[in-house]
Chains A and B, each alone.
Chain A
């Protein structure tokens, strides 16, 4: 079953034709990497999926539901949760309040408590920082909070935008192992990364995006071994 199906999508970002006639698919249970250089349109694509940007043409469906013209509120309600680039935690709100914001669309209090326990299982450090202002966290902790906040919404499909950005290599490893364990607990993941090596190493399949178009696709292994990807994205 396809968790996400994009057909012939075009998006204009101001005057820029940022996504051009793009079609892709993410199956339930998969972890799919979308790699590409800065400015290829990867973040624009994610913002479009989550309803923040209007579409010029094409269609997006999740679990057989058409979400092409749905509002972010509706898309979140369907379980498509987007962790934006640059973490975007709410400064001025405590860590706990940030996590509560993640569960904004949920009403069941006991379910929210369970999600909170799951988030703490993935990120024990957040439990220690619970009452701290989110702005005072380190970059790595903020990324953990951003992912934890998304988990509070019980995502069926998790859209991760550059989770490794600006993090030390040791933290990148940690974040990726957490992404793997989130995936193993049954969440479908669409992972946007500039760190192509890391992304392809954990992905079932991958797409390569260049100036708004998909130029290559294959399994994570195929892409990592492809000459073109090695030359352009893996530095050798």
Chain B
């Protein structure tokens, strides 16, 4: 019994973190039907921001969490504005900018590697060619709105790699460990609860309450829900749809930022690729609960966390990742819309 309760406690703490990340996946999916594969990496960035705040700036855990949340909110909005929005409402100027920037980077790298030029010459050649490419695209291609969702999905994967390897370039590829900030354990009826776990739990609950309040009770939350059911109809109410989408990204990303710091405190370790595993598991949690449904993400996060620790505790920790993917397969077969999902009716 004690072991069972112990696993529940452990499962709830890791589950809180999955739930926080899953909320971002689910909110973004709810509003623009995009699986934001970069979301796990936003969480990774949050972990690093928290790490820098605590180890370099000697900030307290709470202010580090706050910093990470603000930073990730801004990063999430930047990703949305620069990577996803141009796909929704493409403009000729946007095409020009994309061709120019991407062309410059690629041509510069190729020129350096194959022609063995120095930086200046490679830069000049890249600038000239990418400008030519930009103008060529500007005058030949007419952008069309409403592209298919695959384009956005692939872009999200690109953003994910960009964030991972940018972080690797800045912080190096090695594991780093969080300075020990919260020692101490409480024992309750034989069950050990660390202060870190208590903190994780309190912060997660507080953030979920705030989120629920925003989504259910405020004007902006109402607008978010309206845009997610019918963006055009919401626009006809005078809702600025793009701004509402940005706010959704900001909120979802800030939750991921908080989760990043919490996981750093819990597991003491972080690296630039940590967003992959946690992101994927949180994504599965979102699907499990019903993607696009906020309470579903909370439920899914806790369920995945508890299952994982139970399997690790009673069976073998070798299977703790496998079980999560098995859950994904089972839920996709039995109830693809997720636990709380409704079967979507086709509109006639």
Contact = CB atoms under 8 A, between A and B. Distances in A.
A164 interface: no
A92 B239 CA distance: 17
Given A100-B222, A101-B223, A76 B229 contact: no
Interface stretch (B183-191, B230-238, B324-332): B230-238
B236 A93 contact: no
A88 B233 contact: yes
Contacts of B233: 84, 88-90
B241 to A, nearest CB: 8
Contacts of B222: 93, 97, 100-101
B213 to A, nearest CB: 15
Contacts of A88: 230, 232-233, 236
A107 B237 CA distance: 13
Contacts of A82: 236
Contacts of A89: 233
A81 B229 contact: no
Interface residues of A, number: 25
Interface residues of B, number: 16
A102 interface: yes
A90 B229 contact: yes
Interface string B236-272: 1111100000000000000000000000000000000
Contacts of B237: 76, 101-102, 104-105, 149, 153
Interface in A62-102: 71-73, 76-77, 81-82, 84, 88-93, 97, 100-102
Contacts of B54: none
Contacts of B219: 100, 104
A90 B237 CA distance: 11
Interface in B210-238: 219, 222-223, 225-226, 229-230, 232-238
A72 B229 contact: no
Contact of A104 (B223, B229, B230): B223
A61 B219 CA distance: 30
A142 to B, nearest CB: 12
Interface string B26-60: 00000000000000000000000000000000000
Contacts of B234: 90, 101
Contact of A90 (B226, B238, B240): B226
A88 to B, nearest CB: 4
Interface in B150-188: none
B236 A76 contact: yes
A187 interface: no
Contacts of A93: 222, 225-226, 229
Interface in A30-70: 50-52
Given A84-B232, A90-B233, A73 B225 contact: no
A49 B235 CA distance: 13
A43 to B, nearest CB: 12
A199 B232 CA distance: 26
A72 B226 contact: no
A152 to B, nearest CB: 9
A91 B232 CA distance: 14
A104 B239 contact: yes
B236 A91 contact: no
A73 B232 contact: no
A92 B229 contact: yes
Contact of B235 (A52, A92, A149, A153): A52
Nearest to A77: B238
A52 B236 contact: yes
Given A52-B236, A88-B236, A89-B233, 10 more contacts: A71-B240, A72-B238, A76-B238, A77-B238, A81-B236, A82-B236, A90-B226, A90-B233, A93-B229, A100-B219
For the complex of A and B, the 9 pairs showing the least CB-CB separation, nearest first, are A105-B238, A76-B238, A88-B233, A72-B235, A104-B237, A90-B226, A101-B237, A90-B229, A104-B238
Interface of B: 219, 222-223, 225-226, 229-230, 232-240
20 contacts: A51-B235, A72-B236, A73-B239, A76-B236, A76-B237, A81-B236, A84-B233, A88-B230, A88-B233, A89-B233, A91-B229, A93-B222, A97-B222, A101-B222, A101-B223, A101-B237, A101-B239, A104-B239, A105-B237, A153-B238
